[in-house]
A and B are shown apart, each in its own frame.
Chain A
């Protein structure tokens, strides 16, 4: 299975970065850092749900849980069937 971390990072870069010069890593603050606004989180959530065939309840899809690639991966892993 491809590395979830890299899939999420690639998606975030393609989806949210306007400027190619910006750099992101697994711990870059996405929402608190102003890269992803809370509205745009929707597409990320839907992408993850479609890609990994999971359902993330709205009460788990908090700005904190979506704030870094690492925290997103932790969230996804908690729903992916082992």
Chain B
């Protein structure tokens, strides 16, 4: 029992500092399934409010799909609840390998290995395949889980300016003497909703004998004509060396992730990746659900098509209302407010109007780039989007920011 008053005060002071900065995170309890309409208790103890959800990663609306739920039930009945083992002892069922094969086919790669999460896939993959003789060259805006993975790896690390191909090329030249080079980026950037230039990156990687890594967590299932991902959109299906992705967003939204790509790289992960070696893999119930998700997606592109239509409708509505949006065509649509406090106040007011969307500010996004990040889903119907647009217009009017320029908003609210 060494938890003295002194130790306790260290943590209490740190927590107070977080509160003082106004960045203390609080959960909102949802009393329903994940869907377009959800029932939320916020703040804790408040009466439950039914709101439209426009901040979930439920892009395809499959989180509570009846067929997915049914498949999960069947998986639970036939393969049980838990494995009580890591994969290579007695934690691999036929359905785990079946899912790996299906993902390989879906992503257009050579092989796939499951991980407990995409966070774990990103944490494990670099250390498994690189050594101190190698270099990782990453886009400066890659996801936090990739940064953690690179920190765990002994290879040298360098960065290039976000989506700047000229800068990337200069880095490939700078590190020409390394044994192996890997260019690392997200397919769709989660805060801005822009997509990576994978076609140009493939060309650069071929020119400089480098591998290409992409995290497709915000792309798998809906980006590209048949939803394979950013590599499909960019016309480089079959040319990706390493893809990581999640089952925790569009692909059912439960949990789990994978590394998919070149056969040898996947095999190296199976031999060396620590989150794979030292943690149970995805539970059978979730594997069964994801298998059904992939069945649904292979039968029809209806859901990703609806998502595309919804996204265009939403972007057009917000633009016409006079909001400043980040350019792009993905279902991640950031509404720029610039000022951190305004983003928080705006989010609270939207909630009052029955719309659930979160304000993001520094350090999650750059200083002075605070925003409401909206995320559209195939589960949304036009009436959801119309009601949410009404709420945005009403709150936008309250703060007098409709039709205003960035400079004008900053002058009114500061940075």
Give the B-binding residues of A (Cβ under 8 A).
18, 37, 39-40, 42-43, 46-47, 50
Q: Is the CB of B150 within 8 A of A39?
A: yes
Closest CB-CB distance, A55 to chain B, in whole Å?
Answer: 13
Give the A-binding residues of B (Cβ under 8 A).
138, 140, 147, 150, 156-159, 161, 171, 174-175
**Cβ contacts under 8 Å, A46 to chain B:** 158, 174-175
Give the nearest-CB partner of B171 in chain A: A43
**How many residue pairs, one in A and one in B, have C-beta atoms under 8 Å apart?**
23
Q: Is the CB of B157 within 8 A of A42?
A: yes
Give the nearest-CB partner of A46 in chain B: B174
Q: Is the CB of B161 within 8 A of A18?
A: yes
A43-B171, A46-B175 given; name 12 further pairs at CB < 8 Å. A18-B161, A37-B159, A39-B138, A39-B150, A39-B157, A39-B159, A40-B159, A42-B156, A42-B157, A43-B158, A46-B158, A47-B174
The SS class assigned to the A binding surface is helix
The SS class assigned to the B binding surface is mixed
In the A-B complex, the 7 residue pairs with the closest CB atoms = A39-B157, A42-B158, A43-B158, A40-B159, A42-B156, A46-B174, A39-B159
Bound-complex Cα distance A2 to B158 (A): 27
**Cβ contacts under 8 Å, A39 to chain B:** 138, 147, 150, 157-159
Closest CB-CB distance, A66 to chain B, in whole Å?
Answer: 14
**Cβ contacts under 8 Å, A47 to chain B:** 174
Bound-complex Cα distance A75 to B156 (A): 21
Instruction: Pick from A37, A40, A43: contact of B174, CB below 8 A.
Output: A43
Bound-complex Cα distance A50 to B161 (A): 21
Closest CB-CB distance, A68 to chain B, in whole Å?
Answer: 20
Bound-complex Cα distance A43 to B170 (A): 10
